[in-house]
Structure 1
């Protein structure tokens, strides 16, 4: 009996620094984000640069592997949370800012980070802002190729 030959290709681990080319799209073919051709995205697993739910899918893949996965909202960006809708006064926004449903605005958090908020509705002097991830509730198709493994 002989053992099946083991691959000698490097494998992505939980500590790897890697470069990938990837594409995120919706089931209807709408492109959400993708890397430019010949410009792989380089990051270290677990450093917060890349979406952790997607990172975990890369662990264990060999160099050169291409993976294409359809992710339910729970596995991608989560489901919308009603607690992430905030009502604000129109006066809190710059006078020249268009306040229309669907408009995405960057808000500064107390820690100095910026998070996107999508205007959900404008009613009188009140503006309802949705701070859920813009892709919350969406099924995502994630395609990635492991281009390089540095460590």
Structure 2
């Protein structure tokens, strides 16, 4: 058991994600429920994990990430133009609205309405923070080293 984050650690931490304009995009502190991360499990980019390596319980750190190191660049293949008829007739489609779509395998995926023009609806299936530089503020609450040693 170590309190220093290593490549196989499980980390309990609070985070806040801020956009370039300083607005908060997400924060675990809003609900008072910290996040748990298993280092090396692929849920975060290598650069994000590299920013956490060596931090100890109680540490606070602020770091900036580019799109490639955070939520990825915008992928034009994830932007689709759909017929308005595919949506319920009584559904109000507003730009910026997030809707849930069912994939062929039954999984749900969120899509952001980017535009409505006549009978065409533009839906963006990229992560909402794709293509953006972001600032992460982290506070490490606990670290468990699971090297199996």
Q: Name the TM-score, length of structure 1 as normaliser.
A: 0.81
Query: What's the CA shift string for 1:49-75, capped at 9, x where partnerless?
Result: x54453443233222221100111221
Residue 118 of structure 2 aligns with which residue? 124
Residue 90 of structure 2 aligns with which residue? 96
List alignment gaps of at least 5 residues for structure 2. Answer: none
Question: Equivalent of 1:13, from 6, 21, 25?
Answer: 6
Structure of greater Rg: 1
Instruction: Answer 1 or 2: which has greater helix percent.
Output: 2
Distance of 1:98 and 1:149 partners within structure 2: 46
Asked whether 1:112 is paired with 2:106, we answer yes
Aligned length: 143
Distance of 2:106 and 2:60 partners within structure 1: 37
Cα offset, 1:138, TM superposition: 1.1
Q: Name the TM-score, length of structure 2 as normaliser.
A: 0.82
Residue 26 of structure 1 aligns with which residue? 19
Aligned residues of 2:3 and 2:144 also touching (Cα < 8 A): no
List alignment gaps of at least 5 residues for structure 1. Answer: 1-8
Q: Describe the shift of the 1:108–1:52 C-alpha distance in structure 2 as closer, same or farther (beyond 3 A).
A: farther
Task: Output the aligned Cα RMSD.
Answer: 2.2
Secondary structure of 1:134 counterpart: coil
Question: Equivalent of 1:58, from 45, 52, 56?
Answer: 52
Query: What's the CA shift string for 1:98-135, capped at 9, x where partnerless?
Result: 11221111112223332221111112211111111111
Asked whether 1:76 is paired with 2:70, we answer yes
